[in-house]
A and B are shown apart, each in its own frame.
Chain A
Amino acid sequence: MKAGERSSRFLARRLFSAVPLLLGVTLISFTLTVHFGPDPAWEQLGRNPTPEQIQQVRHTMGQDRPFPLRYAGYLVNLARLDLGHSYASGEPVLDILLRTVPVSLLLVAPGFLLGIVLALVLALAAAWRPHGHLDRFCDLASATGMSLSLVIIVIALQAVFGVWLDWFPVRGWRLDGPVDYLEHAAVPTMALIAANMGYNLRFFRAVFRDVLADPPVRTARAYGFRARRIATGYVLRAAAPPILTRVMVAIPLIVISGSLIIESHFGIPGVGLVTWNAVMSGDQPVLMAVVSFSSILFVLALTATDLLTGLLDPRSRSA
């Protein structure tokens, strides 16, 4: 069987096996939202409602229909990509996602990518010389990064770069051109790098240490191969599967969930803020759309991870 055919079959198998997973996730989410989330009818009422008006609003919103019918209706609409309208604003949910997901992507992607690259470089250098100055610095940096709350980091960066130095806007989001974009994304990017650096650095360094302790690296060193050749030819390749898994699993979070704290503190109209508002107000159409697409993206990310891992590591392919 050819490699391409094998991959296609694998992909088809993975996607098929994802169907029950998706059904399970949506059922649990829908149940939690309907039975334990805020009652959206109460968010729609004025200051002096009568019991009849409450009932009327519940009826208009379809809240009085039996649960199985509501869930089935939701699944049918999801399959048709008819996500309905937001209870709160009346805007079509699809429009909300199309408007906010790109914002979150543009906001989070630079910090995410730069943070990973920076952490990889630092972690590899630190792992290369255990107990050296850089390794000790990484210890300190990762402990500090993990201890600091993102809120504190955001407030500090806003105070330094937005108020004290006055280099960047404290908040807001404009995309009138690349300069606008860089200007508005700079401080959030720094915040994301600072917030994730601790965890990434620690994880990547541990992976690199394991790989560097492998016999083939010892052999390569014994043969007198240059450090660059060992790093690119073996270490990065051997460390790729766990690192790839960590990175790929994080992608759906960036795409669909955004970063609530970043978006909220910097006043950026991304999907994280929309999701938070939907959770708090019981805006079920928005909430269920976010949950559903997050689940689908997770499945796709995991599938892609498996495929890539298979390409990088033949052992996992045979497994």
Chain B
Amino acid sequence: MSCIRLAALCLAMSAMAGCQQPDPGADQSEKVYRHAIDGAPSSLDPAHADNVYAATLVKNLFDTLYRYKYLERPYELTPNLAEGFPEVSEDGLVYRIRLRDDARFADDPAFPDARGRPVTAQDVVYSMKRHFMDETRSRGAWLWRDRIAGLEDGVEITDPEQPVSGLQAVDERTIRIELTEAFPQFTHTLAMALSAIVPREAVEHYGQEFGVRPVGSGPFVLERFDQSLAVLEPNPHFDRGTIQLDEEGYDADRHAGYGLAAINGKPYPLLDRLEIHFITEPTARWSSFESSRGVDVVMVPPEMADRVLETRQPLSLQPSIRERYHSLTGLEAGFVFHGFNMANPAIGYNDDPQRERRNRELRCAMRDAFDWSAKNKAFYHGLGRVFAGVIPPLLDSHDPQVAENSIAHRPERAKERLQAAVWQGESLPRLTYGLEASVQQRQMFEQFRAWMQAVGFPPGHFQPRPFASFGEYARAIGQRELDIFLLGWTLAYPDAQYALQLFYGPNAAPGANSMNYANPEFDRLYERAASMRAGPDRTRLYRRLNRMVIDDCVIIGSLARTRLHLWKRHVRMLPDREMVGGFFLRFVDVSDDRP
């Protein structure tokens, strides 16, 4: 019986300890903010930070030359580690960037005497060069390959001292970058987590472990990092003056009620401790948010929409939710779509011009048979925004005038197309539909198959092929094994070029052009648009490219998901998962009236 007594004692002690105790991990006078994201990064090396999870941390542990203004919408760049905007030559090829003189790396044993040193232009050059070193296994080299002189395709950096003609440290604080052709989006790439500045000493000191022992000059340093939590504390060397809300895009009307005015004029970061919880399960995320000691923010998953929404059109929250939490809704900087593999002669390009025309009709018919409205209701709780093409509504170049035929559910039109192109019954090709192995993806497939059957496809003509992980799914798409696949694409910077590169011929699979779209006219116009400065001419060109994608029925799309953020009332912030991403965390404040 002694075991039972011991067990009872343990449980009782545990219960007593747990009952309404303050959070033991934090001093009550400390300003602690608990952020939540729906996935965990595996590496915090900036060279691997091509996903939102890693980027959220990397942007806080390291510095990028530029960042996006906290509150300005549409998104606008502002200098970060750079002293100002780059001086760009008349032809748009040469960039001169001057660094701030007060940036220092955090203290770390990797440095002599474990004291962080100032960030120099050499660090910027090294950080970009290492993307082209084999051992880095960079996920970001593609951003600058062929764009920076001396880093053309096939060039490999074997030694950090190896000179690169287009990448030079002019002096301690000045970098000169020469591009092979004008690329106005270049400055945006310098705000991506992939471009964050790393110290060579730390990379060499920690080797492969740099991904879990990051050393940077960002506003925070890493205190703890595992699969479920990252704890960050302020970097004592980080001193960027005080917050100037006007310069961050503050608008008293638009931001009324969030309590943001209170942070104006304060030095940042404002927190003593930043916890980032990685919670993949929606129910666990929600339970944690509802708990008094749980996370302070949640991006409401579609499964939970019924619990928080009163109406969808217009979108309004339940009164109890409105009363307890701050909220913010907005469209994602990205979209989901179904792509066709144009490299498959059964559905895409074909040596026989007549068959190629019939294939186009086939793809267009499948698009007509597709019901975005039903999909939005079934899987995105009616909160997504369906739009024609691939330039999402968040961008200035989004085309509201484009005909919506491509996103309308027109089964009769689909049947007419099939009939006109002499497609019927068994003559229709058998196609492989790729999906990640999950209940939701399977349901999406069944819904898709039902729509296709309704316009005349025999039931067995769509073969589902499930994959256990996204990596495997991406491999199959990259190796052109799938005919139809669902993909999501998140913009790394607010420019349609980032979306349109999905259809650029030289990017064909295994590159980003998973559809293997090959249209010389599209490529020519894309190349022209990519080197143009922002303006009406470029917008016209972008919209023309968008219409080409629609006319050729390369995809069935698209839908931008709605982000619905809720956060506790004692937290002063405006969360963002898109361009501002992790950058906003340095401006988060916690009021003294934390429950």
Binding site for B on A (CB under 8 A): 38-40, 42-54, 56-57, 60, 85-86, 88-92, 99-100, 110, 114, 117-118, 121, 155, 158-159, 161-163, 166-174, 176-177, 179-180, 182-183, 185-186, 263-269, 273-274, 277, 279-282
Contact = CB atoms under 8 A, between A and B. Distances in A.
Contacts of B17: 179, 182-183
Contacts of A280: 468-469, 471
Nearest to A116: B3
Contacts of A38: 468-469, 471-472, 475
Contacts of B13: 182
B228 interface: yes
A46 B210 contact: no
A48 B283 contact: no
B73 to A, nearest CB: 25
Contacts of B283: 155, 265
Nearest to B34: A172
A46 B284 contact: no
A167 B15 contact: yes
A207 to B, nearest CB: 19
Nearest to B277: A267
Nearest to B40: A277
Contacts of A185: 14
B469 A182 contact: no
Given A38-B469, A167-B19, A269 B228 contact: yes
28 contacts: A38-B472, A38-B475, A42-B471, A46-B141, A47-B139, A90-B209, A91-B209, A117-B4, A155-B283, A162-B288, A162-B291, A166-B291, A167-B18, A170-B284, A171-B228, A171-B277, A173-B229, A174-B24, A176-B24, A179-B24, A182-B18, A263-B228, A264-B281, A267-B277, A273-B228, A274-B227, A282-B469, A282-B471
Nearest to A88: B42
Contact of B510 (A50, A163, A173): A50
Nearest to A274: B227
B288 A170 contact: yes
Contacts of A158: 284, 287
Interface residues of B, number: 66
Given A171-B288, A183-B24, A117 B3 contact: yes
Interface stretch (B130-138, B254-262, B303-311, B576-584): B130-138
A277 B138 CA distance: 20
A281 B13 CA distance: 40
A52 B288 CA distance: 45
A149 to B, nearest CB: 13
B4 A167 contact: no
A42 B137 CA distance: 11
A129 to B, nearest CB: 19
A163 B295 CA distance: 12
Contacts of A269: 226-229
B23 to A, nearest CB: 8
A265 to B, nearest CB: 5
Contact of A173 (B228, B279, B478): B228
A172 B229 contact: yes
Given A39-B475, A277-B227, 5 more contacts: A49-B511, A50-B153, A185-B14, A267-B229, A269-B227
A36 to B, nearest CB: 9
B209 A163 contact: no
A185 B280 CA distance: 20
A171 B25 CA distance: 13
Interface string B283-304: 1100110111110000000000
A99 B284 contact: no
B107 interface: no
Interface in B2-37: 3-4, 7, 10-11, 13-15, 17-21, 24-25
B280 A277 contact: no
